[in-house]
Amino acid sequence: MITIDFECSSGHRFEGVFGDYDSFQSQSNQGMIACPICGTVDVKRIYTGCSIQAKSSDSTSISKDGPNLFDLIRLFNTYVRQNFEYVGKDFPEIARAIHWGIEKERSIYGESTPEEVRELREEGIEVVPLIDIDGIEH
């Protein structure tokens, strides 16, 4: 599908949607594109400042050289587990204590419920849940 902007001889601007460029060209050549406001077929195409070209959905064009989403999640999880302190089920309390300056600032991870994560976020405490795609605990 493509969208093309038009303007009629009366200055009305409108947009046309076509299955592809050939459909637009065919309708244009036959004088089938008319202003929806005044009905005139005296219209011209308006070129807008932005154009996005759709790429083919052909799977052969997708690069398989780089990591996929699951690989990236695994890398992120590994980084956190190797560089952050595991605090277990005390995570919400320790995160609050760090946020309010009661405990020294450090990177932690642990366990919490979705409700606890929501509450931490409401308090302005930045929390990013780990996505456990391999069934591995801390």
Q: What is the mean pLDDT of the chain?
A: 86
Give the residue among 74, 90, 93 at the shortest CA–CA distance from 82.
Answer: 74
pLDDT given at position 34: 92
62-78: string of b/e by CB count within 10 Å (b at 16+)? eeeeeeeeeeebbeebe
State pLDDT tens for residues 44-94: 998 766 655 666 655 555 566 778 888 899 999 999 999 999 999 999 999
Domain limits, the chain:
2-46, 69-122
Q: How far is CA 93 from CA 88, 99, 117, 124, in A?
A: 11, 10, 11, 14
What is the pTM for the complete model shown?
Answer: 0.50
